[in-house]
Amino acid sequence: MRNDNFMKKIFSSKIFFLFGLVILVLVGWAVSKKIIEGNKIDADIKAAEEEIARLETKNNELNDFINYLNTEAFLEEEARLKFDLQKPGESVLIIPEESTEETAKKDEDKKGSKESFWGNFPKWWNYFFNNKD
């Protein structure tokens, strides 16, 4: 009976309650810390998987490009562009570019005109203020 009374006193005391509360808070804090850490690890794993998928896609694209570089069509195109080669019976058509004097004269004419100075301003002015509708 005395032992029973002693146990009742201990379990109903304020010190036991505070001690239990402190232990509960510490355990809760440790568990929440582990949950947060687990969530961070899951996010890192997901980011790594996305990076792997992106790199695999890029690797496939590069492999396709390497395969294209090894084809006859690419070699023929490069020979035509870099070495000016042509197939037998084929003729090359050269289109002359405009001379720089002609281009400079056209640019000068455009700069000197009244329309290029004012741009679209007179058209907008007439549209809003001289509307005859």
- Per-position pLDDT tens, the chain of length 133: 566 777 777 777 888 889 999 999 999 999 999 999 999 999 999 999 999 999 999 999 999 999 999 999 898 888 888 887 777 887 777 777 766 666 666 666 665 555 556 677 877 888 888 866 5
Number of residues in the chain: 133
Q: Are residues 112 and 58 in the same domain?
A: no
111 and 50, same structural domain?
Answer: no
- Same domain? For 7 and 28 the reply is yes
CB-side exposure of 68: number of CA atoms within 13 Å? 8
Tokens of 61: 């694209």
18 and 70: one domain?
Answer: yes
Q: Please report the pLDDT score of residue 33 as a whole number.
A: 96
Same domain membership, residue 101 and residue 47: no
Query: Residue 13's pLDDT is what?
Result: 82
Handedness of CA 36, 38, 40, 46 (dihedral sign): negative
Name the domain count of the chain.
2
Chain Cα centroid distance, residue 122 = 43
pLDDT score recorded for residue 14: 86
Domain that holds residue 122: 96-133
The pair of three-digit structure tokens given for residue 1, joined into one six-digit string: 């009976």
Half-sphere exposure of residue 126: CA atoms within 13 angstroms, side-chain side: 4
User: Does 66 share its domain with 103?
Assistant: no
Tell me, yes or no, whether 76 and 50 share the same domain: yes
